[in-house]
Structure 1
């Protein structure tokens, strides 16, 4: 499993510009006020969902203040009906626990089958995103396009979408 140390080493080895902010564990967006946010427009939240047949999983990453309408997402992007995946699915597929959902978890998706829906708004402005390094006690701030490149290189499908 890829943990925070491996993520930090990978970013350093590839000379990918990033900032690490360590903080108290954050389990939900309601816990966020305790976290220093150097790039407010890059604040991200993540949802791990599955279709009704449990044969396709998605990671959805949006700006922190946005609400995700799963029915609208389904209509717009042609998925089957969506609902939140179980904590067991999250652990089995991405090696993550609730409260630690992050695009870096896709690096634990050995078969690269989980699709990543990334909110286009996270590419606008300064283009910086803040995501957990597979634990919820730190946030890595980095260029959104660099994160996309990492996930694409791993092999997961990436869809830049309007949410």
Structure 2
């Protein structure tokens, strides 16, 4: 059973990470979430759950306005081939979330560290980063340095790369 938003908040607290969460109606796309600008400070994320032909999985987290060249990103992230979006079943199995709620916080559910996490370096230039806390009905704000701490605490080794133009 995937971890819940409550489990995530407890994990963050136990790890000594300060986070604030704002509730809102469900948001399924970046366009939906842009309606909240001004209410929640900091950078807002777009998350791409990708796989290559050898069933290696990647979570690429970038700023919501960033563009990722899906025909070329495999060269940057160490994929065995060009990538495609991972199937919803694998998204649920590995990150414990549904399409429309993909989040870097889903790494808490990837206990086998099967997903390689890639953070765009331009996103990481922001002091505060916002992501869904395992549900698209809320946004959690966290310091960029604490996001790296969170990822490491889940057993993943975050890679920070320039993946956007």
Please give the TM-score of this superposition, normalised by the length of structure 1.
Answer: 0.90
For 2:64, the equivalent position in structure 1 comes to 64
Structure 1 or 2: more helix by fraction = 1
Q: Is the 2:8–2:108 Cα contact (8 Å) retained in structure 1?
A: no
**How many pairs are equivalent?**
160
Moved more, 25-34 or 57-66: 25-34
Instruction: Return structure 1 stretches of 4+ with deviation > 4 angstroms.
Output: none
SS of structure 2 residue aligned to 1:68? coil
- Aligned residue runs from structure 1 range 1-163, under 5 A: 1-36=2-37, 37-40=39-42, 42-54=43-55, 56-79=56-79, 80-125=81-126, 127-163=127-163
Judged with a 3 Å threshold, the aligned counterparts in structure 2 of structure 1 residues 15 and 30 are, in CA distance, closer, same or farther, namely same
Q: Is the 2:111–2:155 Cα contact (8 Å) retained in structure 1?
A: no
Please give the TM-score of this superposition, normalised by the length of structure 2.
Answer: 0.89
What runs of 5+ residues in structure 1 fail to find an aligned partner? Answer: none
Name the Cα RMSD after superposition: 1.5
What runs of 5+ residues in structure 2 fail to find an aligned partner? Answer: none
Please give the alpha-carbon distance, in whole angstroms, between the structure 2 residues aligned to 1:62 and 1:92. 22
